[in-house]
Amino acid sequence: MPQIVILPHAKLCPDGAVLEAPAGKSICDVLLENDIDIEHACEKSCACTTCHVLVREGIESLNEATELEEDMLDKAWGLEAVSRLSCQSIVADADLVVEIPKYTINQVSEGSH
């Protein structure tokens, strides 16, 4: 079974984590099922960017981003070539290394940073 290495995030996962990731699940679902409370303000419907992640390794194994996802990502804080919406990124058969950005564009959550 593939694994997702989550790089340390000061608030959501201070020590980082290594998670079992069943193929066919989204990165967002894997994180949530392992008590990493990544934001998902639109309830995983590809209508916001609060679940934005940076896939540092293994991005080529994920499903291809749709045009809608790419349009949403244009609004994400800290956009990089390896940016994906975790709710739209489906795990395949390769291990992944994922970084959760420090900020999101969710104004409610930004107040606490």
What distance in Å separates the CA atoms of residue 7 and residue 70, rounded to the nearest whole number?
A: 23
Tens of pLDDT along 91-110?
999 999 999 998 876 654 44
Note the pTM of the prediction, 2 decimals: 0.91
More confident residue, 104 or 15: 15
Tens of pLDDT along 29-82?
999 999 999 999 999 999 999 999 999 999 999 999 999 999 999 999 899 999
Cα three-residue angle 84-113-78, rounded to 5 degrees: 30
What are the residue ranges of helices labelled H in 1-113?
27-33, 67-73, 107-110
CA torsion angle 70 71 75 79 (round to 10): 20
Determine the pLDDT at residue 106: 63
Determine the pLDDT at residue 48: 93
Determine the pLDDT at residue 111: 45
Determine the pLDDT at residue 104: 75
Question: Taking 70 as the threshold, does the pLDDT of residue 113 lie above it?
Answer: no
